[in-house]
Amino acid sequence: MTRTTTPTGAALTGISAGYARQIVLREVSAGFPAGAVTALVGANGSGKSTALGVLAGIVRPVAGVVERPAGRPALVVQHDAVPPLLPITVRDTVRMGRWAGRPWRRLSRQDRAVVDRCLARLGVDSLAGRRLSALSGGQRQRVLVAQALAQETGLLLLDEPTAALDVPARQAISGTLREVADSGVTVIHATHDLAEARSADHCVLLHRGRVLGEGPPEDTLTDEALRAAWG
């Protein structure tokens, strides 16, 4: 069940979800504060991506309640999930963020201004005319984040957005996520990078589809909890 709330954050209550006949999340309950960056932390297979899918509305839970801000969530996948030969430019990729539920509509002057701002915000405006497939991994990831920002959503979801990127790309994306959260957006990103998780405002620690802990990083990512999460 999905319940749209006022823009105060997002929450999962008693969520069980998975794919086909395999349950990945088991009775997961967690809160995600608005105006903050939340890190979904855990080893591979812990359920981080499934939790993002549930929050995004693309994975239907078999039990439980999803609460999220009004409007369409924006989900940023990893850059290597995008087909490498997709014949689309950087500008067109970001323009797709303005369609959000209304595909192929004609963009207004305001829409185009939003696209230009998002390109500049992620430092990819000089690449606007290039093919997405011609960019480095870090450049493509920044373009995908710009596309999500173009939706102007209250809920921004990202699946390991800085994994395997160079330092400038990591800094650009992390800095942008902080700015977006400071503007009141609920930002949730999955990661197994503990340094990145410790820079978040809030953490949800997962292990084998269950919540091991939730709260500020210093209280959640203790040595004992991390040994259990990766054990």
Q: How many CA atoms lie within 13 A of 145 on its CB side?
A: 32
120: how many CB neighbours lie within 10 A of its CB?
Answer: 13
Residue 155 resides in a domain = no
Residue at 66 is within a domain: yes
Instruction: Give the torsion sign (CA, 165, 168, 169, 172).
Output: positive
Residue 195 burial (C-beta neighbours within 10 Å; 0-12, 13-18, 19+): exposed
* Count of structural domains, the chain: 1
Tell me if 200 is assigned to some domain. Answer: yes
Is 206 part of any domain? yes
Q: Is residue 89 part of a domain?
A: no
pLDDT band of residue 83 (cuts 50, 70, 90) is confident
**Look-up: residue for tokens 């977006």?**
180
Domain that holds residue 66: 1-71+186-231
Residue 80 confidence (pLDDT): 73
pTM of the model: 0.92
* Distance between CA atoms of residues 213 and 199, nearest Å: 17
Structure confidence by residue, pLDDT tens digits, 54-81: 999 999 999 999 999 988 999 998 877 7
161 located within any domain? no
Domain with residue 196: its CATH number is 3.40.50.300
Residue 199 maps to a domain: yes
Residue at 107 is within a domain: no
CA angle 221, 142, 73 (to 5 degrees): 70
pLDDT band at 192 (very low <50, low <70, confident <90, very high): confident
